[in-house]
C-alpha cells in the first residue's frame, strides 16, 4: 500500500490559548505536524508563541507574506527581523519563502529546525513560472514546497499531473482553489509526501475557520488515508459551495454507520466545467455527487440514466456513477414531498393551495411536489417570462401581485437569504395571515424572509429539514440503506443551534 502523506494541520487561531486547544484536537485526530501561522497571530499575542512548548505535535513556523496570500510583511529585511525575534529552539521546521527570504545557517546545525523552501504562485502564473520554480536549486536536507491555484478544468489536469511528477523528484506541489480538495483526496495515489489540513470540524459552521477553503479536516483525511484504498469518494458541487453543510452531515452519518469514505465540496467555474469533470470523478473513485445551484439543469443533461424523479422535475441534484453510466435522481423532490406530507398531516397546512417563489431547480421540485399532492400551485419569478414558461410546462398558475390570492403555505426557493436581502420578493403578499413559510435556504445570513413571515403573524421554517431529508435520500441511493434509525432526528437536534 502506498504510504500515506504526512498530515500538517494549519492552525486557525490567532492567539496562544486558541492554538493550544487546536493543537490538542489535531494531535488526537491523527496529525503529524502543526503549522503555526505566526503572520496571522494578533500582535499582542505574538511574543507568547514560545509558550506553546512543550507541544503535543512537532511545530512548523510560518510567516506568510501578503504577496503570497498571508498577513505578514513582504520586505525581506522586516521578515528577517521577525524571525530573529523568535527563538528557533524547539521548532521542528521553519518555512521560508523562496522569493524573499535568505537561507539562514541554522539548517546544518544539530537540533535545528528542518528548513522548508516555499513558493505560492499567483493565479496569473504561467507554465513557465511553474517550471522555473520546479528547477530552482534546493540545498540538501530542505523540503521544497510549491503551491499553485487550480480550477476543476484545465487547472485540474495540469496541476495534478505535475504534482505526481514533482513528487517523484521530491518536491511537494500543492493545489489550492477549486482543484485543492481533489488533490487532497487523491494525494495518496499522487504520491504526495505532505498534505496541509484544517483542524477537526465539530460543527458544520466550523468550515468557516479554515485558513484556505481547499483544506479538509485532518480527522477526515486521516481516517480516509488509513482506510481500504477502495473507499468511495463523494462531493457536493455548486457555485458557491464552500458554505454547504452537506460534507459535515454525510461524514457524521458515515462515522455513525462505520462506513468508509470522504465527502468533498467542489466548485466548478461553469456548467461546461461541471459536465467536463464528471468523467474524471467517475474514474477517480467517486461513487456519486450532490448538485446544487446553478448546475441542476446541467446535471440532468449530463445523465445517461435519468430516474423518475428527474423526469418529473426536469432537473437533477444527485448523480451516481455506475461504470460508464451516470444515474440521475432528484432528492430535492423526495425531500419536499416528505415535508409537505408532514405539514399536511400535522394540520400546519390544509393541502389545498401552495405558493412557490422562484423558477430554478429547487422551485421546480417544490412545484411538482405540491402538484403531486393535489394542491393548487402558483409560482412567481423575478423574470415573468421564466415564471410563465415554468407554469405552462408544469401545468400550474403564475402568481401575480395584486391579482392573485395569498396562500396558507409558501415555499421560498431562491438564493435570497444567503446572498442578500429579500427586496423585490413578494413573499409577504403571497403568504396568508397565520400561514407557514418554508424556506429552502438554511443558516440564512439575512432575516428578511423571517421578518416577512412575522409581519403576517405566520410561522417560518428554514431549509435545514429539507437539507437533511434530501441528504438522507442521497445517502440511501449511494449506500443502499438510509442512515441508522434515529440518526436523522438526532442530527437535526444537533445542528439546529448552528443556525442561531
Residues designated catalytic: 296
Burial class (CB in 10 A: 0-12, 13-18, 19+), 445: exposed
Cα–Cα distance, 343 to 331 (Å, whole number): 18
**For residue 294, cis peptide bond before it (omega within 30 degrees of 0):** yes
Least Cα distance to 280 among 171, 155, 193 occurs for 155
Q: Which residues of 170-208 are buried (b: 16+ CB within 10 A; e: fewer)?
A: ebbbbbbbbbbbbbbbbbbebebebbbbbbbbeebbbbe
Contacts of 361 (CB under 8 A, 6+ apart): 293, 296, 297, 313, 315, 317, 332
Q: C-alpha grid cell for residue 330?
A: 432528484
Cα–Cα distance, 264 to 182 (Å, whole number): 8
* 346 membership: H or E segment, kind and range: none
Least Cα distance to 184 among 156, 165, 209 occurs for 156
Strand order in the sheet with 325-329: 262-266, 233-237, 286-291, 318-322, 325-329, 305-306
Cα–Cα distance, 180 to 184 (Å, whole number): 6
Burial class (CB in 10 A: 0-12, 13-18, 19+), 135: exposed
Q: C-alpha grid cell for residue 184?
A: 487532497
Whether the CB-CB separation of 192 and 167 falls below 8 Å is answered with yes
Q: C-alpha grid cell for residue 429?
A: 403578499
Half-sphere exposure of 493 toward its Cβ, with a 13 Å CA cutoff? 5
Q: C-alpha grid cell for residue 498?
A: 448552528
Q: Which residues of 330-350 are buried (b: 16+ CB within 10 A; e: fewer)?
A: bbbbbbbbbbbeebbeeebbe
Burial class (CB in 10 A: 0-12, 13-18, 19+), 209: middle
Amino acid at each position: 500500500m502506498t504510504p500515506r502523506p504526512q498530515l500538517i494541520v494549519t492552525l486557525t487561531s490567532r492567539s496562544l490559548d486558541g492554538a493550544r486547544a487546536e493543537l490538542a484536537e489535531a494531535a488526537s485526530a491523527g496529525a503529524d505536524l502543526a503549522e503555526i501561522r505566526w503572520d496571522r497571530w494578533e500582535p499582542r499575542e505574538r511574543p507568547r508563541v514560545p509558550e506553546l512548548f512543550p507541544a503535543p505535535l512537532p511545530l512548523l513556523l510560518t510567516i506568510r507574506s501578503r504577496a503570497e496570500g498571508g498577513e505578514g510583511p513582504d520586505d525581506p529585511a522586516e521578515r528577517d527581523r521577525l524571525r530573529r525575534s523568535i527563538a528557533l529552539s524547539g521548532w521542528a521546521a521553519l518555512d521560508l519563502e523562496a522569493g524573499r527570504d535568505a537561507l539562514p545557517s541554522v539548517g546544518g546545525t544539530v537540533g535545528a529546525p528542518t528548513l522548508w523552501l516555499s513558493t505560492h504562485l499567483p493565479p496569473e502564473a504561467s507554465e513557465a513560472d511553474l517550471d522555473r520554480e520546479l528547477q530552482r536549486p534546493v540545498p540538501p536536507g530542505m523540503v521544497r514546497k510549491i503551491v499553485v491555484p487550480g480550477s476543476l478544468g484545465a487547472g485540474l489536469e495540469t496541476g495534478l499531473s505535475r504534482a505526481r511528477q514533482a513528487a517523484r523528484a521530491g518536491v511537494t506541489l500543492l493545489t489550492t482553489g477549486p482543484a485543492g480538495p481533489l488533490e487532497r483526496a487523491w494525494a495518496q495515489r499522487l504520491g504526495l509526501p505532505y498534505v496541509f489540513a484544517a483542524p477537526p470540524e465539530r460543527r458544520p459552521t466550523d468550515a468557516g475557520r479554515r485558513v484556505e477553503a481547499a483544506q479538509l479536516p485532518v480527522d477526515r483525511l486521516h481516517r480516509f488515508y488509513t482506510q481500504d484504498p477502495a473507499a468511495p469518494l463523494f462531493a457536493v458541487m455548486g457555485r458557491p459551495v464552500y458554505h454547504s453543510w452537506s460534507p459535515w452531515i454525510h461524514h457524521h452519518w458515515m462515522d455513525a454507520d462505520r462506513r468508509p469514505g470522504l465527502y468533498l465540496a467542489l466548485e466548478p467555474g461553469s456548467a461546461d466545467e461541471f459536465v467536463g469533470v464528471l468523467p474524471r470523478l467517475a474514474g477517480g473513485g467517486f461513487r456519486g455527487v450532490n448538485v446544487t445551484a446553478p448546475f441542476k439543469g446541467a446535471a440532468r443533461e449530463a445523465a445517461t440514466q435519468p430516474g423518475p424523479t428527474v423526469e418529473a422535475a426536469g432537473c437533477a441534484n444527485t448523480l451516481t456513477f455506475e461504470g460508464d453510466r451516470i444515474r440521475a435522481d432528484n432528492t430535492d423532490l423526495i425531500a419536499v414531498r416528505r415535508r409537505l406530507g408532514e405539514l399536511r398531516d400535522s394540520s400546519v397546512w390544509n393541502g389545498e393551495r401552495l405558493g412557490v417563489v422562484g423558477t430554478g431547480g429547487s422551485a421546480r421540485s417544490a412545484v411538482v411536489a405540491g402538484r403531486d399532492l393535489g394542491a393548487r400551485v402558483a409560482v412567481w419569478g423575478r423574470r415573468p417570462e421564466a415564471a410563465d414558461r415554468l407554469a405552462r410546462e408544469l401545468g400550474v398558475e403564475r402568481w401575480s401581485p395584486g391579482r392573485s390570492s395569498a396562500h396558507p403555505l409558501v415555499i421560498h426557493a431562491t438564493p435570497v437569504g444567503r446572498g442578500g436581502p429579500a427586496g423585490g420578493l413578494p413573499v409577504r403578499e403571497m403568504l396568508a395571515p397565520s400561514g407557514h413559510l418554508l424556506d429552502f435556504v438554511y443558516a440564512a445570513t439575512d432575516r428578511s424572509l423571517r421578518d416577512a413571515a412575522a409581519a403576517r403573524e405566520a410561522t417560518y421554517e428554514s431549509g435545514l429539514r429539507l437539507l437533511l431529508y434530501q441528504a438522507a435520500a442521497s445517502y440511501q441511493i449511494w449506500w443502499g440503506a438510509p442512515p441508522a434509525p434515529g440518526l436523522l432526528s438526532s442530527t437535526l437536534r444537533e445542528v439546529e443551534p448552528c443556525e442561531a
